[in-house]
Structure 1
Amino acid sequence: MSDTESDDADPEIDRINLRISHSFLEVVDEAWRERGFNSRSEYIRYALRDAVNHPEGAGFWKDLAISEAQFDAGEGLSSDEVKQKHGIDGE
């Protein structure tokens, strides 16, 4: 399977594969549910759109990715610590 795959139902949409750790997927699932999104895909599209439209926020996403790797290794910052570092309200 390729990295992108056309969706037969809509020729304007491509499906992609994304590999992330189980622990990070649990965090993503918790986040989209808490924030009122209808699905994981909807939340990920929103997050990607936000990252593209607001590149100044890239530091947050970079720190989040680093924290995921550190968390999986048994170290790193909690999501609350990352939010506090970047001045993001937890609600």
Structure 2
Amino acid sequence: MSTDAGSGDNRMRKINVRVPEALLEQIEDEWERRGYSSKSEAIRDALRDWVDPSTELSDETLDDLEESREQRERGQTVSEEEARDRLGLDD
């Protein structure tokens, strides 16, 4: 979870945002459970992630990528065209 500090500029400006009622209800249910001190803090954190998304991959994804590389090196991969033929898929 990000914190409010870190951007180097702590000046805050207020904005008005309209969100669907269902989304607001989800935010109401989640912000405190996730350890935020306020809805505003949670939304600021979500906006920071949107502007600067995390590039960290999960261990599972990294394992899958390694397995894929190994399969390619062993010649165990096929082209998209061959995969489509094998699966009977048309364009």
TM-score scaled by length of structure 1 = 0.45
Whichever of the two has the greater Rg, that structure is 2
TM-score scaled by length of structure 2 = 0.45
Larger relative contact order (Cα-Cα within 8 Å, sequence gap ≥ 6): 2
